[in-house]
Structure 1
Amino acid sequence: MTITTVLDTPLLADPADVAADPSRHRVLTGDRPTGPLHLGHYFGTLVNRVRLQRQGVETYLVVADYQVITDRLSPGEIAANAREVVLDNLAAGIDPDAATIFAHSAVPALNQLLLPFLSLTTVAELQRNPTVKDEAQAAGIGSISGLLLTYPVHQAADILFCHGTLVPVGDDQLPHVEQTRLIARRFNERYAGGRVVFGEPQALLSPAPRLLGVDGRKMSKSRGNAIALKATADETARQIKRSVTDAERTVTYDPVGRPGVSSLVLLAALCLRKSPSEVAESVGGRGSAALKALVTEAVNEELRPVRERRAALAAEPGLVESLLAAGARRATEVASRTLDEVQSALGMTY
């Protein structure tokens, strides 16, 4: 595939432009293997990934195992969690025959890009990155490790190793994409004499708003407030039943004034392919109990085929391991070519 790169692309990609010519693009996306993926991931990114792949956009999916320890003292059950992440992506609809699925730790050439990229980034820029601060606060850590501080640069290596052009993200991840674009621009100017070695990737925002967890805070694996894709129907019902609402009986959609109720309304709307106002009107004065019942039915019906596919995939011995091995071989070939380009620009050809 030949990718045309230009220096002055806007930060945000236009979905209509992508759909008009998907063969011009390459997506880099992925997940940290810290546990099974949940509904926030599903509507926030997985549905978007599958849509882009089905449009014909080449897809690279990284299982970001090295990034697990950016804000944790222990990697935890990292191999088991990596398997969960791959299964969740496949169950959501990612085609393993058309995607390159790999783990960070299996592609040394990708990680080697971190060194020259770090030379293009200042400590002050990294310290100002709001996403790094948010990650540290969410993890409850008092001091930021060197790995967490340089997290945006590692993400730049993820994106640029395959010359990714599109990065599906939520708006909270835009600073990372901006940092990647800055690194690409500086590399071209400082080390390549103005020649375009790296194009500036674009962020593709998810059309789905951010979902709250059942406790009214941001949905997160670490907070235990999420509904996992692999959860059973009964587990889903129990989680939704304990969702935070309020004392007002009539259900309305007011994200600012009634965040708990509105998050449930939004979740039902996403599952039912309706507007939040339509869902709120359908429940009306029947109260939170009726809303929770509606959400439970909608979520379980939405996830039923996903869960069925996931169970079938999980029963295939060695499936995930073989996909990761094949993906690592493919990603290593691509990363090695990119590293050769970088070392050539730096004059490191011996």
Structure 2
Amino acid sequence: MSDSYQASVARSRQIEERLAVQPGDFRMLTGDRPTGALHIGHYFGSIQNRLRLQQAGAEIWQLIADYQVITDRDSVGEIQDNVRNLVLDNVAAGLDPERATFFTHSAVPALNQLLLPFLSLVSVAELQRNPTVKDEATTAGIKSISGLMLTYPVHQAADILFCKANVVPVGRDQLPHLEQTRVIARRFNERYGATFPEPDALLSSATLILGTDGTKMSKSKGNVVELRMTADETAKKLKGAKTDSDRHITYDPENRPEVANLLQIVSLCEGTDPASIAEEIGDGGGGGLKKRVTEALNETLAPLRARRAELAAEPSYVHEVLRRGNERATEMAETTLAEVREKMRMVY
């Protein structure tokens, strides 16, 4: 375990302790790329954490990262529908637009203007060394990294620092991006005077949920269980989930990852130990396991799906949520940009 990772873990633990007694000290920034509907990996891996922070009383800024869609693809696709679905999924899950600010990149010009001074604070070599960018390019099959993708960590720094967020929920794989944000904040403060906090990572303890084919759950692979699916669609999707040939169900993540994954989903839904669930299913085989997963998941998601249907029936709902959120984000970004220009002596 590297020293930088150990330091991130230590700071994350301190945040958890402070959240319990001083939640008002925290402003959280989190976001989603509108490349498709959200799935259960998002729900258990990040949305539940957002809801926990909201319940604790932290201030929440929820970014719909529409500009980031073209970091690793040639077009924006069905972006209008995707943005709408992201808002519906998050709100139906429990994120309250009265307590969380929903906004999009493209609607907040002042946020994106921060990219220019921030780029002056990092070298090309630093950007090229970022392991997360390399991994994302490899995953997407990209051989020639675009300027946008190369500077993605700096754009993310603008996302976080425009509202002076001091906590960002991430997994370990995203720590290099957040560290770049901390470096940019530190260098700006050193060069121009104290302006930005150095945001800390709130590390997620969620277990990675595999897709129905046994690989990482990904919208692009079509191996996901979407939050918006009906109960029947969920059952059909899970019926094709990969298991193995051993009929006796055991919880063995190392040797039986696909079976362990399905048991983990049941565990997350029911709040019980996956090994105990395996014992209950016993010789029920893959069929028995999939039946248990389907029932647990459909029961857990039923309230979300019902609420989503209600929200979707109001044509102007998403537009109004984004209108209010974009106005607030624009006001915040313009205030921060004005402060940056003042510190840089660029007010004429």
Task: Give the TM-score taking structure 2 as reference length.
Answer: 0.95
SS class of match (1:338): helix
Instruction: Indicate whether 1:48 and 2:49 are aligned.
Output: yes
Asked if the contact 1:35/1:221 (under 8 Å) is kept, the reply is yes
Distance in 1 (CA, whole Å) between partners of 2:9 and 2:234 is 42
C-alpha distance in 2, partners of 1:91/1:334?
26
Q: Distance in 1 between matches of 2:42 and 2:177?
A: 18
2:220 to 219, 222, 225: 222
> Could you tell which deviates more after superposition, 303-312 or 274-283?
274-283
- Aligned counterpart, 1:114: 115
C-alpha spacing 1:268/1:9, structure 2 compared with 1 (3 Å):
closer
CA contact (8 A) 1:10 1:202 kept: no
* Range 131-140 or range 151-160, more displaced: 131-140
User: What number of residue pairs does the alignment pair up?
Assistant: 340
**Identity of counterpart residues, as a percentage?**
60
* Cα separation, 2, equivalents of 1:116 and 1:59: 25
- Helix, strand or coil for the counterpart of 1:27? strand
Q: Which SS does the other structure have where 1:214 is aligned?
A: coil
The residue aligned with 1:5 is none
Q: 1:223 and 1:280, CA in 2 relative to 1: closer, same or farther beyond 3 A? A: same
Q: Deviation digits for residues 161-200 of structure 1, max 9, x if unmatched? A: 00001111122111111111111111111222xxx21111
Pairing 1:273-288 to 2, within 5 Å after superposition: 273-288=271-286
**Which residue does 1:88 correspond to in 2?**
89
Aligned residue number for residue 320 of structure 2: 322
Quote the residue 1:77 is aligned against: 78
| 1:3 paired residue number | none
Q: Is the 8 A contact 1:244 1:260 kept in 2?
A: yes
1:196-220, CA deviations, whole angstroms, 9 ceiling, x for partnerless residues? 2111111112232110000111111
Find the aligned partners of 2:60 and 2:201 in 1 and give their Cα distance: 15
Give the Cα separation in 2 of the matches to 1:10 and 1:263.
Answer: 28
Deviations 1:93-128 (A, max 9, x none): 000111111110000000000111111111122112
Consecutive unaligned residues in structure 1, runs of 5 or more: 1-7
Look up the match of 1:296. Answer: 294
Counterpart code for 1:12: S
Displacement of 1:19 after TM fit?
2.1
For 2:12, give the aligned amino acid. L
Amino acid at match of 1:173: Q
CA-based RMSD of the aligned residues comes to: 1.4
Deviations 1:310-348, CA, capped at 9 Å, x for gaps: 000001121101111111110011011111111111111
- Aligned residue in 1 for 2:161: 160
Q: The residue matched to 1:263 in structure 2 has which SS?
A: helix
Residue in structure 2 matched with residue 169 of structure 1 by the alignment: 170
Give the 4+ runs in structure 1 shifted more than 2 A: 8-14
SS in 1 for 2:255: coil
- Provide closer, same or farther for how the CA distance between residues 11 and 227 of structure 1 changes in structure 2, counting only shifts above 3 A: same
SS of corresponding position for 2:12: coil
Residue 12 of structure 1 aligns to a residue whose secondary structure is helix
Shift of 1:50: 1.0
Distance 2:320 2:344 in 1: 36
